[in-house]
Amino acid sequence: MGDRLKARKSKSSYFPFTRNSTDGACFDHHKFLSSKHTMEKELACIRCKRKFVVPTKIGTYRCCECQGVSKSISGYKQLRENSLGAKFFNQDQLHNASTNATSFSSPLLSTTPTGNKRAVLCGVSYSRRRYRLKGTVNDVVNMNSLLVENFAFPIQSIRVLTEEQKDPNLIPTRRNIVESLKWLVKDCQSGDSLVFYFSGHGMQQLADDKEDEIDGLDETICPVDFIREGMITDNEINSTIVEPLKNGVKLHAIIDACHSGTTLDLMHVYKKDNGNWKWMNNNPPGTEPVTKRTNGGTAICFSACEDSQLAADTAAFGGKEMNGVMTYLLAKIIREHSGITYASLLEKLHEDIAKIQRSKHFSGFLRRIFHRRIDQDPLLSASEKFDVRTRILF
């Protein structure tokens, strides 16, 4: 960790700069196809000509080799016939994405979501600021590819917010993030699979008078304009994307930020206690807040670290490119272990971080490229307990 800024020392106060930034500052930051997609078709990449097999209902696909985006005429026609958001299909954005691996095909801003799978991916770089981050856009690229290639998410149903977007409505401001979260859950129905991903700075602040936090602190995420417009608290995230979840709707959140353990304010956390993995209650003693319940659906969150910890960035995984440690390892593990369970994924995340810590090279080369000691324990939380050892991811 850089010497210029130090993390919060005690729980009675917080220091406003916590996930590692690239200038040395620290900022208080189964290969799967749905049962509905059992029919397959062959699709050739328009750039590298590589052929691959995709579900028939997928209208577009990002090549895992060159990152080019291909459009299937039959798949697109099927989307139109099924009224799954064809009018929100942005041809220009698809063309741009096919020629630029860092471009994204985000849906046109609308009050109506598209399809039964949709996602909001948010990477905040805080460019031109002393607490800037360089790995967040790479994290979003990684997560976008993972959803498309491993979980059959249609590209046009993924909304991407980064500071590189040309559309001002897709810049990760407080207003745009909140509006995108509302879009994510609007008119959700049984069978929907939703994803919220955030890579950026996370902080804590004194909890409001609801006293719904065990440690007395609210967890927050930081939009690009948080200094002026304010942070987004766990209470607001919970009320926006957790409470509205109807029966049969499943939300996955992945938060790669400091102090992110209970960013969704979910009722149960799965963690080690005296060496044993088990579900633990996340409610303050003697209370059962209504705000931590869904409307019948399920919310599950993977967080980069516990509430009291910091999350790390590194260039160790991809040469000069920065990545969030949790995002990189999570995507790598999922790609390498088809049909992985929730428990196995969490345990492998802990194992891989522990291996880095134990490495004889960590005190030298790895210490320099990680910027600081990695002392983060990824956390799984959920709106309801489930059998993490048998349930397959997503």
Catalytic center residues: 201, 258
CA atoms within 13 A on the CB side of 44: 4
DSSP 302-371: EESS-TTS---EEEEEETTEEEEHHHHHHHHHHHHSTT-BHHHHHHHHHHHHHHHHH-TTIIIIIHHHHS
* Residues 87, 162 contacting (CB under 8 angstroms): no
Query: Residue 367: CB partners within 8 Å, gap ≥ 6?
Result: 373
Pairing verdict, β 117-123 and 158-161: parallel
* Polymer length of the chain: 394
Nearest residue to 226 via CA among 265, 262, 172, 271: 172
Burial of 101 (0-12, 13-18, 19+ CB in 10 A): middle
Give the torsion sign (CA, 56, 61, 63, 66).
positive
Pairing verdict, β 379-382 and 268-273: antiparallel
Q: How far apart are CA 322 and CA 265, in angstroms?
A: 29
